[in-house]
Amino acid sequence: MTDNYEKNYESLRSWLADLDVEAVYQRLGLTEPVDGCLHLDLLRRHYRIDQHAVHDEGGEGKPNVNCQSALIWYLTYGGVGEPHYKFQPLRAFTEGLVFAGNNQDGNWQASATERAFAKNEESIVQAMGILGAEPIEAGSGFDYAWRLLVLPKMPIEIRFCRSDEEFPCSIKIYPDETAMNYLPFEALAVFIGCIYGEITHIGRTLNGG
């Protein structure tokens, strides 16, 4: 039975019919098209995109149809400009109107990821290396931080806090403040969910579960 995520991808595929491969390649600074197809790496998987589909060509990352949907949004949304490398929580993109209570920073997406590292918090360092993220200065309130260019013009920061007597470990993803130049909010939330999902996959591979 086709699930809702697959149905969503299938509904988005029609948008690719009008995809101007050459224009998108130049606008987003992608690698040069091959045989009329765009090629992109996302979360340790390789994708080939033509005017019919986003083809998952395989890789070490976990297959995720939401990544294919996010790529359609990214390629067709028409975003221009350069990232500012100023990062903010997901809730900042909606002026605090979407999330409430404990979910105001998008923690609902992070809970499975945090559980994947709860028994071996230091394995987050190895996981970030596997993901390809570069360590940066953590800053106040965090024990570790990394920066990752997930797609051209789409950098993020990932910040991690160890557990203490009162709180479990926490992991937060911060998009660049220009992220909605390239994805509308709904697609951005899906995109961030894909990143949490791949980090969770790596954590479970390292730590079991």
Same domain as 199, residue 139: yes
Shared domain for 43 and 139, answered yes or no, is no
pLDDT score at 102 = 44
Residues 17 and 103 occupy one common structural domain: no
Percent of the chain with pLDDT over 70: 93
198 and 156 in a single domain? The answer is yes
Q: Are residues 47 and 121 in the same domain?
A: no
**Is residue 187 in some structural domain?**
yes
Residues 201 and 120 in one domain: yes
Query: What was the pLDDT predicted at 30?
Result: 96
Identify the DSSP state of 158. Answer: E
Domain for residue 84, yes or no?
Answer: no
- Tokens found for residue 76: 């067709």
Q: Which residue is it, tokens 């994805």? A: 183
Phi/psi of residue 10, nearest 5 degrees: -60, -35
d(CA 16, CA 115): 37
Residue 185 inside a domain? The answer is: yes
CATH code for the domain of 148 = 3.30.310
**What pLDDT is recorded for position 49?**
98
Report which of 162, 150, 157 is spatially closest to residue 123, judged by C-alpha positions. Answer: 162
Does the structure show a pLDDT above 70 at 97? no
In a domain, 134, yes or no: yes
Which tokens sit at 27? 């606008």
Q: What is the pTM of this model?
A: 0.93
**pLDDT over 60 at 170, yes or no:** yes
Looking at the 3D structure of the chain, how many domains does it have? 2
Query: 106 and 137 in one domain?
Result: yes
pLDDT score, position 1: 39
Residue 160 has pLDDT above 80, yes or no: yes
Structural domain boundaries, residue 130: 90-207
* Structure tokens, 63: 């297959």
Task: Return the DSSP state at 1.
Answer: -
| Residues 181/81, Cβ–Cβ less than 8 Å | yes
Residues 95 and 197 in one domain: yes
Q: How many Å apart are CA 111 and CA 176, to the nearest integer? A: 22
Residues 118 and 184 in one domain: yes
* The token pair that represents 115 in the structure block: 């559980």
| Token duo for residue 154 | 């789409």
Q: What is the pLDDT of residues 116-140, one digit of tens each?
A: 999 999 999 999 999 999 999 998 8
Angle between helices 107-117 and 123-131 (to 10 degrees): 120
One domain for residues 66 and 126 = no
